Amino acid sequence: MTVMKLMRSALAALGLVVTLNACAQNKTSDKPNKKKGDNMEIVHLTKAEFLKNVYNYEANPNAWKFEGDQPCLIDFYATWCGPCKALAPVLEELAKEYDGKIRIYKIDVDQEEELAGAFGIRSIPTLLWIPQNGTPTVTQGAMPRPELKKMIDSVLLNAQ
């Protein structure tokens, strides 16, 4: 079974449905949108950047090969999603707090439909936790700050 099929199965097994509040969708340019923090930037990834900096599933469809130099957290989100909007400032705070230890990325599922489809993203927010070594973990839904910190500490930092 390929890594992509395993990840899709894991996403499907979680099966949590997030209630989405439809709001007007803000379209952004095709260039990556970086939100500047005091220390750390949350980077909005395109498919090309994901393939280069996280996992090139086109070149390695049968084996997970992390391309990054630090553990990372990827937030699959949409601009119109209420829980995603609530999660965003918490992730910005955590990016500053964990500066130099992890990277936090965001992927807009409406802008990057092919990438979201490749990972079977069906509800948002979906968080992909990628340790430096080992297998990624997926969670769905907006988690409170203490749970996010616990996941960062246990899944990303202790898994090195």
Q: Mind listing the pLDDT tens digit for each residue in 101-139?
A: 999 999 999 999 999 998 899 999 999 999 999 899 999
Structure confidence at residue 15 as a pLDDT band (50, 70, 90): very low
**What is the mean pLDDT of the segment spanning 40-65?**
91
Report d(CA 90, CA 112) in Å as an integer.
Answer: 23
Q: What is the pLDDT of residue 158?
A: 85
Residues 6 or more apart in contact with residue 6 via CB below 8 angstroms: none
**Which of 98, 124, 81 minimizes the C-alpha distance to 42?**
98
* Active site positions, annotated: 81, 84
Q: What is the pLDDT of residue 82?
A: 96
Q: What is the pLDDT of residue 2?
A: 53
Structure confidence at residue 40 as a pLDDT band (50, 70, 90): low
Q: Mind listing the pLDDT tens digit for each residue in 56-97?
A: 999 988 888 999 999 999 999 999 999 999 999 999 999 999
27 pLDDT more than 60: no
**CA geometry: angle 129, 9, 116, nearest 5 deg:** 60
Exposed (0-12), middle (13-18) or buried (19+): which is 140, by Cβ within 10 Å?
buried
Place of tokens 């391309």: 67
Q: Which domains does the chain have, with CATH numbers?
A: 34-157 (3.40.30.10)
Of 95 and 10, the structure prediction assigns the larger pLDDT to 95
Q: Please report, in angstroms and rounded to a whole number, the separation of the first and last CA atoms in the chain.
A: 25
